[in-house]
Amino acid sequence: MKPLIIALALILATPLPAYAHPRPPRDLRQLAQQTGIKIGSAVDIAALRAESDYRKVLNREFSHVTAENAMKWESVEPQRGTFTWADADTLVDNARRNHQQVRGHTLVWHNQLPAWLTTGVADGTIGNAELRSILRDHITTQVRRYKGKIRAWDVVNEVVEEDGTMRQSIWLTHLGPGYIADAFRWARRADPHAKLFINDYNLEWNAPKIETTLALIKDLQAQGVPIDGAGFQGHLGIQYDYPGDWANVMRRFAGLGLEVAVTELDVRMELPVTPEKLATQAQYYSRALTDCLSVKACHELTVWGYTDRHSWVPGWFEGQGSACLLDESLAPKPAYQSLLAVKSPR
C-alpha cells in the first residue's frame, strides 16, 4: 500500500493546471465576489418600481447601489419641514431584500437644492446662522434615518472648481470653508459607523483639482475631522484620452489613509454608435476596473446607471450617449463583457 500512498501524495502536491482555476464570472455580482470589490450601480427609482426587467437585472448584477436622485435635498425635503422619504426608502428596502449595500448620495452639494432654501438665502429671509442650523439638521435627520443601512455617504460633493479654487456655492459664501468640516462631524455623530467620503468629478486627471482636494483632506485630518474616503466620479468620454495616471492618483489619496472608490463611472461617446466606438468604450471600462483593483484601498466601482434606457448623458451632452454597460433593451454591450474578463491582481 505504501507506493499507492506515495503516489497519492505526489498527485495532491502537484499544482493545479491553469484550466482548473475558477471559471470566469457569469455576471457582475460574481465578479465582485471573486475580486473582493463592491460593484454597484446608480438606481432610477421610477424604473425600479415600474420596470420588472430593470429591477431583475439590477438585483442580479449588483452588490452595491446608489440613489441617483432620491437622496438629494430637493427630493427628500421639497418643502421646508416636509420630508418625502418614499423614494429613498424604496431603494434601501430593495437593497436589503437583495443583499446589496448602499452608498448615500449626497448630503451637501451646490445643485438640486430645494427652492425654499435657495430663495430664502437669496432674498435674505434665511440668514447665515439659520442656514448653518438648517444644514446641520438636514445632515443629522437624513443620516440618522438610515443609520446602520448606509455603508458610505458622499458627505460633500464637488466642492472644488476646475481651476483648483474652492467652489463658490451658497455654503462657502454664507458659511465659510468651515462648513465642510462641520458636515463631516455632523454626519459622524449621526452614524458613527458609516464611511464618510468627499466626492468629485475630473479628480481622475485634473491636476489643480487633485492638489486642492489633497490639501483640503490633509487640513481636515489635521483638525481631527472624520473623513474616511475619496470618491472619483469617473464620467469619461472616448473622445478624450483615458486618464492614464488614474491609479497613481488613487494611490496618493490612499496614502493619506483613505479608502478610495470609483463612484459614478460611465463612458459616453459621440453618436452614432459604431462597433469601433463600442470597442474603445469597453477598453475604458476595463481599464477603470483594472486601475481600481491595482490599488488595495479601492473597494468599490459603481456605474452611474447600468442601462442606456435611463442614462443621464443624452440630456446633458448634446449628440452624445450610449454611455452604459447595457443598451436600451438591457442587452450587454462589449463594455459589460470587458469587465467580466478583467483579471484581478488581488
Q: Are 307 and 54 in contact (CB under 8 A)?
A: yes
d(CA 183, CA 120): 21
Amino acid identity for residue 184 in this structure: F
Amino acid identity for residue 102 in this structure: V
Residue 42 grid coordinates:
446608480
Catalytic pick among 61, 264, 276, 300: 264
Q: Which residues neighbour 304 within 8 Å (Cβ) at sequence distance 6 or greater?
A: 41, 42, 68, 233, 235, 264, 265, 266, 312
DSSP state of 154: E
Q: Is the dihedral of CA 166, 297, 147, 66 positive or negative?
A: positive
Number of other CB atoms surrounding residue 331 within 10 Å: 10
Q: Are 159 and 166 in contact (CB under 8 A)?
A: yes
Does the annotation count 68 as an active-site position?
Answer: no
Number of other CB atoms surrounding residue 81 within 10 Å: 7
Q: Are 194 and 187 in contact (CB under 8 A)?
A: yes
Q: Which residues neighbour 58 within 8 Å (Cβ) at sequence distance 6 or greater?
A: 41, 43, 48, 65, 306
d(CA 200, CA 234): 9
Q: Which residues are catalytic?
A: 264
